[in-house]
Chains A and B, each alone.
Chain A
Amino acid sequence: MASMCEATTRVLPGAAVIELSGEVDGSAADVLTNAYQAVAQGAGVDLGTVVLDFSAVDYINSTGIALIVSVLARARAERRKVVACGLSPHYREIFDITRLSDFIELFPDLDHAVSQLTGPAA
């Protein structure tokens, strides 16, 4: 099944953003894994936080939740923090029900997430 998910990565000082779009389901496994790998390699040991931006995501299913769990597990093992932004109210609730929001801080949008991570713009 062709993936309906795309990822764009961006490295910031001490953090990296993975902007996801489309559908986060089983077909997104390679997309998400490769995106995490790219930011981890690009930023190296300086990478403290990974931001998952779901603003352009219109569907997440249980397999997609499992992929997010896998990314979170890997990040924790590498002592990195994961935060998320842009979730719709419905998917925020799913992050609460699954307890993902206990481990992934949620922000309403990317600007809030980045400003929290990098401090106010000069």
Chain B
Amino acid sequence: MTQVARPKPRRLDAFELASEPGNERLALDRVAECVQGLGLPDGRLEKLKTAVAEATMNAIEHGNKNRAEIPVEVEVTQNGDEIVVAISDQGGDSDASSDAAEEPDLLKKLDGGQSPRGWGLFLIRNMVDAMDITTNGQRHTIWLTMRTGGAEHGEHV
């Protein structure tokens, strides 16, 4: 039997950001720069950027409570045809206080039955091929996976 060796995961970048509103733009710009040339079509790159921005915003606001001195950590890895972005904060199991609790319903929002906010995790789930959340003590990480060769399902090309 022939075994095909799977390439080892390759770390493309790792960096920290101060937990200050607006710093999600720094994260998305840096992730976009480091995945350049990996074959991610433009439409899927835009989706990854939105997912990274939203996950970083959640980490800043809900995880680290906007405390600038607690950094958000971002790591970008290539694993075969997958790009994995891990975004970590120190919020522990903070999803209860983020927008994870209730699926956004636009009609309810328009009628005042839901807050107009609460789109973050909904957008992330719809932008990437997989989203996973792990918690290890206070360390809370959201893992965003995007395949470079993935189908552009339902997407303009």
- Chain A residues with a Cβ closer than 8 Å to the other chain, count: 29
DSSP class of A's interface residues: helix, strand, loop or mixed?
Answer: helix
Q: Is B57 an interface residue (CB 8 A)?
A: yes
Cβ-closest chain A residue relative to B22 = A1
A61/B57 in contact, CB under 8 A: yes
CB-based A-B contact count at 8 angstroms: 68
Q: B25-44 CB contact bits vs A (8 Å, 1 = yes)?
A: 10000000000000000010
Of the candidates B24, B43, B109, the one having the most CB atoms from chain A within 10 angstroms of its own CB is: B109
Q: Report yes or no: A62 in contact with B120, Cβ–Cβ below 8 A.
A: yes
In whole angstroms, what is the CA distance A62 to B23 when docked? Answer: 15
Residues of A with C-beta under 8 A to B22: 1, 25, 27
Whole-angstrom distance between the alpha carbons of A88 and B58 in the complex?
Answer: 24
B131 to A: closest C-beta gap in Å: 14
Q: Which residues of B contact A90 (CB under 8 A)?
A: 43, 46-47, 50, 156
Q: Report how many residues on chain B are interfacial, defined by Cβ distance under 8 Å.
A: 30
Q: Does A108 contact B (CB under 8 A)?
A: no
Q: Which residues of B contact A94 (CB under 8 A)?
A: 50, 123
B118 to nearest A CB, angstroms?
Answer: 8
Q: Mark A91-108, 1 if CB is under 8 A from B, else 0.
A: 011100111101100000
Q: Is the CB of B126 within 8 A of A62?
A: no
Stretch at the interface among A9-17, A45-53, A67-75: A67-75
B104 surroundings in chain A (CB, below 8 A):
98
> Residue-by-residue, is A61-85 near B (CB-CB < 8 Å gives 1, otherwise 0)?
1110111011011001000000000
- Shortest C-beta distance, A104 to chain B (Å), equals 10
Can you list 15 residue pairs at the A/B interface with Cβ under 8 Å?
A27-B21, A61-B57, A62-B99, A62-B119, A63-B117, A65-B123, A66-B116, A66-B117, A89-B43, A90-B43, A90-B46, A93-B155, A99-B106, A103-B106, A103-B110
